Amino acid sequence: MMYHLRSTAFNTLRHYSKDTKIFSDKILSESHQATSPLNFVLGKRVDAQGSSSFQLIAPATGKVLRNIPNSNEQDISEAVLAARHTFKSWSKWTGFERGKVLKTAAELIRNKVDDLAYTEVLDTGKPIWEARYDILGCADTIEYYGGLAGGIKGDFMQLSGGSFAYTVREPLGVVGGIGAWNFPFQMAAWKSAPALACGNTMVFKPSQVTPLTAVMLGEIYQRAGLPGGCYNVVQGEGETGQILCSHSDIDKVTFTGSVPTGSRIMETCAKGIKHVTLELGGKSPLIIFSDADLDNAVKGAILANFSNQGQVCSNGTRVFVEESIAEDFLAKLIERVDNMKIGDPYHEDTTVGATISSQQAQIVEGYIDNAKKEGATVVYGGERVTPSDPNLAGGIYLRPCILVNCTDDMTVVRKEVFGPVLSLLTFKSEEEVVARANDTEFGLAGGVFTRDLQRAHRVVAAMEAGSIYVNNYNVYPVGVPFGGYKKSGIGRENGEDSLNYYSQIKSVYFEGGDVECPY
């Protein structure tokens, strides 16, 4: 998930900053973010004390930037303790006061967008303009929750005999946040903003692959006036996440990542009866009817498959095209994808950056090989591209891949690939395609392109997914809830809805007369 703004703004943003720094070893070695301590506790950067460590590798170059120590039990306990301690005062601030801090943070993010985007590219290898786009979207999200914070309230119920009841919406306490690597700054922002707006405090663990910008968010919050201890960051691998989830002083876990890890986290939380929000994987369908505007449908299919190197949870990777237009659709799709520019993510005109890691690239290539063995045909891409800049030789750059002759039972059509692989499937009738679209364990998103209004509404009603796009794909305006059906998750992020997942209701009964007691 990703673009808060409408896709028409893409080109404007791609040229937002003409003076973006050109990627080089010199800049890498000088990067403050790649040398400073990366845990953030009580408003300060600190080093984790764990005896084991992991490597931070820049996907664009494949170069090792540094080793980062894992946070051990003590590091995590200190962060949770700081969050618990600060919760006592932060939760007593009025919503309006909390909102002011968030709104200031949003403005600071906008002022720092190039620095943040630059560092996000260092971590992820995504094109710089996409990173900038993500970060500006996060500023909007934080401002949005800043605006909502003052309006968080309960209800009042008049009862008989002068009695009444009211409800108070209270925070949950200390929230543990755990993020995936595809939108690192966004994960930290989408989780912390509603949590803090409700009066919770947080300990956030980014993916080991992308540790840098969650800490920068901590510094921004600090400058905006957030009390130290409200937002903390611990770095580490899966075990750090496991320790965080099982900590007895964590009241809720909000997680974004894969289904297997989500399931493990839910098990851990079940032991402590902790609240849990899970944003998990997907294998979403995009249905294109023969009456659709074909050019828009092609653009939609590209947005649904190839932004962020295809590493997007809500991607519509099963592209169902009505048989009668399949040939025309494919020709237009290939023509447009062929214009995508692969290479240096720091160049403003790059549209395909580096794949996050060699392991992930191997997984994607494995799916493509397997698809061929199962009878699919690669009509475009799927191979590695070597950028002309020798600096980028260690990065992995995959050309977006289009598969045809796919069937619903193929592994590539059933499993989440999490890479730039589009499977094209054809259909004959609405009833058939809706049944096939829903035939998946996932339910994160779905799309439909048609000019027929009644059909659009019928298909939307029949689709089993948390977000459905009609005549567009992968746009995320601030304020619209996001989350999955089926195995794609539990709970919602974004929108007012998210506040319900970071708060609890206290019902208060007030007696206006004498106690009636039958005993």
| Smallest distance, ligand NDP to C-beta of residue 445, A | 9
Among the listed residues 395, 398, 332, the one whose alpha carbon sits nearest the alpha carbon of residue 367: 398
Nearer to ligand NDP, 167 or 358 (CB): 358
> Would residue 279 show up in a list of annotated catalytic residues for this protein?
yes
Among the listed residues 325, 323, 280, 286, the one whose alpha carbon sits nearest the alpha carbon of residue 305: 286
Q: Around Cβ 475, how many Cβ atoms within 10 Å?
A: 18
User: Is 312 within 8 Å of 284 (Cβ atoms)?
Assistant: no
Nearer to ligand NDP, 282 or 345 (CB): 282
Strand (E) or helix (H) holding 508: strand 503-510
User: Is 175 within 8 Å of 78 (Cβ atoms)?
Assistant: no
Q: Alpha-carbon distance 500 to 492, whole Å?
A: 9
| Smallest distance, ligand NDP to C-beta of residue 294, A | 29
| Smallest distance, ligand NDP to C-beta of residue 209, A | 6
Nearer to ligand NDP, 146 or 310 (CB): 310
User: Is 312 within 8 Å of 324 (Cβ atoms)?
Assistant: no
Nearer to ligand NDP, 39 or 104 (CB): 39
Among the listed residues 205, 253, 256, 209, the one whose alpha carbon sits nearest the alpha carbon of residue 231: 205
Q: Using CA of residue 457, residue 332, residue 12, residue 218, what is the dihedral sign?
A: positive
244 DSSP 8-state letter? H
With CB atoms as reference, the residue minimizing the distance to ligand NDP is 241
461 DSSP 8-state letter? H
| Smallest distance, ligand NDP to C-beta of residue 95, A | 26
User: Is 175 within 8 Å of 251 (Cβ atoms)?
Assistant: yes
Q: First and final CA of the chain: distance in angstroms?
A: 59
| Smallest distance, ligand NDP to C-beta of residue 324, A | 33
Nearer to ligand NDP, 127 or 419 (CB): 419
Cα angle for residues 126, 131, 135 (degrees, 5° grid): 155
DSSP string, 261-321: HHHHHHHHHHHTT-EEEEE-----EEEE-TTS-HHHHHHHHHHTTTGGGG--TT---EEEE
The residue annotated as part of the active site, out of 78, 120, 130, 279, is 279
| Smallest distance, ligand NDP to C-beta of residue 476, A | 10
Q: Between the CA of residue 208 and those of 53, 57, 184, 334, what are the distances in Å? A: 10, 10, 10, 35
Q: Alpha-carbon distance 466 to 338, whole Å?
A: 32
Nearer to ligand NDP, 53 or 167 (CB): 53
- For binding to ligand NDP (CB under 6 A), which residues are involved? 1, 178-182, 205, 207-209, 237-238, 241-242, 245, 256-258, 261, 264-265, 279-282, 313, 416, 418, 444, 484, 489
Among the listed residues 292, 502, 302, the one whose alpha carbon sits nearest the alpha carbon of residue 402: 302
| Smallest distance, ligand NDP to C-beta of residue 444, A | 6
Nearer to ligand NDP, 254 or 450 (CB): 254
| Smallest distance, ligand NDP to C-beta of residue 249, A | 16
226 DSSP 8-state letter? P
Q: Between the CA of residue 468 and those of 424, 449, 460, 476, 487, what are the distances in Å? A: 19, 11, 7, 11, 16
User: Is 443 within 8 Å of 485 (Cβ atoms)?
Assistant: yes
Q: Known catalytic residues?
A: 279
